[in-house]
Amino acid sequence: MLLLGIIVSTPGEADLLVGSLNSKTVFTYQHKDFFSGSINGRMRAVICICGVGKTNAAHGTALLMERFAPGHVYSIGVAGAYPGSGLRIGDVAVADDEIYGDEGIITGSGFHTIDAIGIPLASVGGIDYYNKFPLVVPDFLRDCGPTGNFVTVSSCTGTTTAAKDMEDRFHAICENMEGAAIAHVCALNEVPFTEVRGVSNVVGDRDARPLEAGCIRLASERVQGLLIEKLTA
């Protein structure tokens, strides 16, 4: 049976999935927690709580690959939707591509992606990857919500002007802080990768306070419930 790897940044974005595991075993490697078992007794999976941000995501994914060798990797969690996407809090979206939003060069004419300087972030099987990594959208997720480009950022976008810039630059529907790093490591290991996220907020003018806990919870529950349903149907 295929072993799925599931990457989640925080425990609160994985609690329903972890709770659904039968014959659960817990491992800790290099300060990251892994939960192995069978989702509702139907699908073998290992869930990694990687931590927030690109470095944690890449580290957790590399450990997942080395220790468990999954045949397919999923990333779930919450995301901020760009204003023009039409997405609202609690909606679920699926990634067609993951894009590094920060890697590149800033000149007098503005931001340019890393292909402008001709240095790929990865080269696999004769394919050079720059900012964008294509993802796999399984058939069972195609009717679960809109699909589109996801952008991975180091700093959450906190103004409407910046949100519009990111949306237009990458033709994207939402942003997060881990997805492109996971896609990058999956590409290096030639393992298919799928990303599904719930919308916790619409990106725009905000202060530095945390997002509403209830919105985060709603988004997290929606995407976890969807994945459990679809994987065990």
Asked if 66 contacts 57 with a C-beta cutoff of 8 angstroms, the reply is no
Domain ranges of the chain: 4-231
What pLDDT is attached to residue 160? 96
What pLDDT is attached to residue 137? 97
What pLDDT is attached to residue 73? 98
Q: What is the pTM of this model?
A: 0.96
Q: Which residues, 6+ apart, have CB-to-CB distance to 103 below 8 Å?
A: 113, 114, 121, 131
d(CA 44, CA 26): 14
**Structural tokens at position 84:** 């023009």
CATH topology for 4-231? Answer: Rossmann fold (3.40.50)
What pLDDT is attached to residue 233? 85
What pLDDT is attached to residue 208? 86
CA dist 128 → 20, 25, 75, 103, 122 (Å) = 39, 38, 23, 15, 6
What pLDDT is attached to residue 32? 98
What pLDDT is attached to residue 1? 73
Give mean pLDDT in consecutive 10-residue pieces for the chain, a chain of 233 residues. 94 97 97 97 96 98 98 98 97 98 95 95 96 96 93 96 96 98 98 98 92 96 96 89
Q: ∠ CA(148), CA(103), CA(60), 5° rounding?
A: 75
What pLDDT is attached to residue 145? 86
What sign has the CA pseudo-torsion 208, 107, 82, 161? Answer: positive
CA dist 121 → 39, 95, 103, 129, 225 (Å) = 34, 20, 9, 6, 34
Number of CB atoms found within 10 A of residue 29's CB:
15
First to last CA, the chain: 15
What pLDDT is attached to residue 222? 97
